[in-house]
Amino acid sequence: MKTFISLLNNVYINIFIPIFLTIIVNIIIFSYKLNITKNKINNPYIPPGYVIGIIWIIIFGLLGYVQYILRNQNNIFEFLLIIFLLVFCILYPFFTNRLQNLKIGLILNAITLILSFTISLFIFNVSKKAFYYLIPLLLWISYINLVDRLNN
């Protein structure tokens, strides 16, 4: 048991697990063609699916590092918030694809934006270093929300 806990304190494991999960989700998305929606086809500002997949792999690696920082600083509540955000973002493509409703998709985008900013504020209060690694997530989600709003 002690070896397992020490393994979880390894920075590389904390980064690898979210990246691995993102790669698995990307494989599922592309295998079942979940990345093709009417909204993306009509919107020239949204990059191709493989670019979005790469962006999320980078973001999830950064989120893994953030949760590593928070766990090592014994900020358990904020650590759990990052885990919640990771799970929410992993499940997001499945919810939006199932619903296929443009208005619900926009609402979910807004919820993701609000959730990310709220969690980032909690993180900022306890660790500015961890917060800096959340900036790419905030920029990406803000960009997607802006592009979706402009297109509709």
Return the pLDDT at 38.
45
pTM of the model: 0.85
Residue 42, domain extent: 2-151
Over residues 36-71, the pLDDT tens digits come to: 554 455 678 888 888 988 999 999 999 999 999 999
Q: Is 37 helix (H, G, I), strand (E, B) or coil?
A: coil
Share of the chain above pLDDT 70, in %: 82
Distances (CA, A) of 61 to 22, 54, 95: 9, 11, 22
Tens of pLDDT, residues 6-30: 666 788 898 999 999 999 988 888 7
How many structural domains does the chain have? 1
Cβ neighbourhood burial of 125 (10 Å; 0-12, 13-18, 19+): exposed
Per this entry, what is the length of the chain? 152
SS3 48: coil
pLDDT higher for 109 or 101? 109
Residue 36: what pLDDT?
54
